[in-house]
Copies of this chain bind each other. A is one copy, B any other.
């Protein structure tokens, strides 16, 4: 039972293999009346395209989205929005050697065992190429959220252990201007040096991406299994290479005491009487250890989480592995690979977050009579 549909009301279905004809998505459930065009999608895809920095692959993808349905005279019809992005930059010959040998840290072997066959060219469906479709779907979700005053911003918090200082909940123009999406020029420079060093050694790096959503009213999240943080955890963990996620104080909270950990609400916010707005407003708190979620419901604070990405498993260095017959084999991975996925993962994390928030916003409409 395949798992290529995400969401309950605002749904994204993605398709496409790395070296097939195209990747793409169908967004089903986007409300009618939203202003939307191909530019909205193109802008987000451009942020994911390689080439921003030394950390990125040199594979060049046009990433030109074609919207096949769901839009009429510049507005969504309430019908499925199908978006196709042709694969144009793939070089299948790079992968001929990988037919019978399994790359360590990749899904090659498990995919073949599970399905009985696989598209060995560039990882097929398990390639990071697949995330272009997520970004396209996420662009629609972002447009819907923006219409409702909600913005989602992610950035690289650290690469190869080199961390930027906490940028708080503010704006992050700076992150788009360096190649690493790091909210600090200083840190970006240190990272650049480290990346060069790893590249020379035939190595790769991991990192941490941080994400915040501003303008989120109280009430997003459906207890008990579809809590805001639970669905975000699924959404973000489903991005290849993510190995962990934490909200607010996260793993740090495990060592706190109760009085340290509790964010207390500050005076000035009154709960509306029954029948009032189902959005509530913004509430101020003494801190944000919760990451903006209480009991699985957004609490009016800034939504804040971090995701850990493992190093890119495709490295230039020679590695030991096994082949299809179970014998030990040496492997040297050619092709054009990112050194660290974090900069290009930033819009993917935003996209998955936006998909969760758009869906929960619509689900929340059924909470009251």
Contact indicator B15/A117 (Cβ below 8 Å): no
Contact indicator A113/B271 (Cβ below 8 Å): yes
| Binary contact readout A352-369 vs B (1 if CB under 8 angstroms, 0 otherwise) | 000000000011111111
Interface: A11 (CB within 8 A): yes
Task: Out of B13, B248, B250, name the residue touching A5 (CB < 8 Å).
Answer: B13
Contact indicator B257/A32 (Cβ below 8 Å): no
Within 8 A of B (CB), among A280-331: 280, 283, 289-291, 294-300, 308-315, 317, 319-322, 324-328
Which B residues lie within 8 Å of A119 (CB)? Answer: 72, 77
Interface size bracket, A side: 35 or more
Interface: A238 (CB within 8 A): yes
Contact indicator A206/B255 (Cβ below 8 Å): yes
Per the bound structure, the CA–CA distance linking A84 and B80 in Å amounts to: 14
Interface: A177 (CB within 8 A): no
Task: Out of B26, B230, B231, B295, name the residue touching A110 (CB < 8 Å).
Answer: B295
Contact indicator B14/A224 (Cβ below 8 Å): yes
Task: Out of B5, B21, B315, name the residue touching A69 (CB < 8 Å).
Answer: B21
Contact indicator A366/B364 (Cβ below 8 Å): no
Interface: A44 (CB within 8 A): no
Which B residues lie within 8 Å of A204 (CB)? Answer: 257-258
Contact indicator B29/A225 (Cβ below 8 Å): no
Q: Which of A225, A235, A255, A321 has the most CB of B within 10 A?
A: A225
Interface: A95 (CB within 8 A): no
Per the bound structure, the CA–CA distance linking A114 and B253 in Å amounts to: 26
Contact indicator A254/B322 (Cβ below 8 Å): no
Which B residues lie within 8 Å of A125 (CB)? Answer: 77, 79, 223-224
Contact indicator A206/B297 (Cβ below 8 Å): no
Task: Out of B114, B283, B324, name the residue touching A219 (CB < 8 Å).
Answer: B114
Interface: A256 (CB within 8 A): yes
Which B residues lie within 8 Å of A176 (CB)? Answer: none
Task: Out of B118, B262, B271, B275, name the residue touching A104 (CB < 8 Å).
Answer: B262
Contact indicator A294/B113 (Cβ below 8 Å): no
Per the bound structure, the CA–CA distance linking A249 and B118 in Å amounts to: 27
Which B residues lie within 8 Å of A312 (CB)? Answer: 258
Task: Out of B10, B69, B256, B283, name the residue touching A15 (CB < 8 Å).
Answer: B69
Q: Which of A205, A252, A257 has the most CB of B within 10 A?
A: A257
Contact indicator B107/A296 (Cβ below 8 Å): yes
Interface: A64 (CB within 8 A): no
Contact indicator A8/B1 (Cβ below 8 Å): yes
Per the bound structure, the CA–CA distance linking A233 and B305 in Å amounts to: 14
A105: nearest chain-B partner, CB-CB: B262
Interface: A264 (CB within 8 A): yes
| Binary contact readout A211-255 vs B (1 if CB under 8 angstroms, 0 otherwise) | 000000011001111110111111111101011111111111111
Task: Out of B29, B110, B258, B325, name the residue touching A311 (CB < 8 Å).
Answer: B258
Per the bound structure, the CA–CA distance linking A131 and B22 in Å amounts to: 23
Interface: A33 (CB within 8 A): yes
Told that A82-B84, A253-B310, A264-B320 touch, could you supply 12 new A-B pairs with CB distance under 8 A?
A2-B9, A4-B80, A5-B225, A15-B26, A17-B70, A17-B72, A72-B117, A104-B265, A107-B297, A130-B224, A243-B247, A271-B324
| 16 A-B pairs with C-beta separation under 8 A | A2-B28, A9-B363, A20-B68, A21-B66, A24-B68, A77-B125, A105-B290, A109-B294, A113-B218, A113-B272, A114-B278, A114-B364, A116-B278, A161-B254, A225-B238, A264-B319
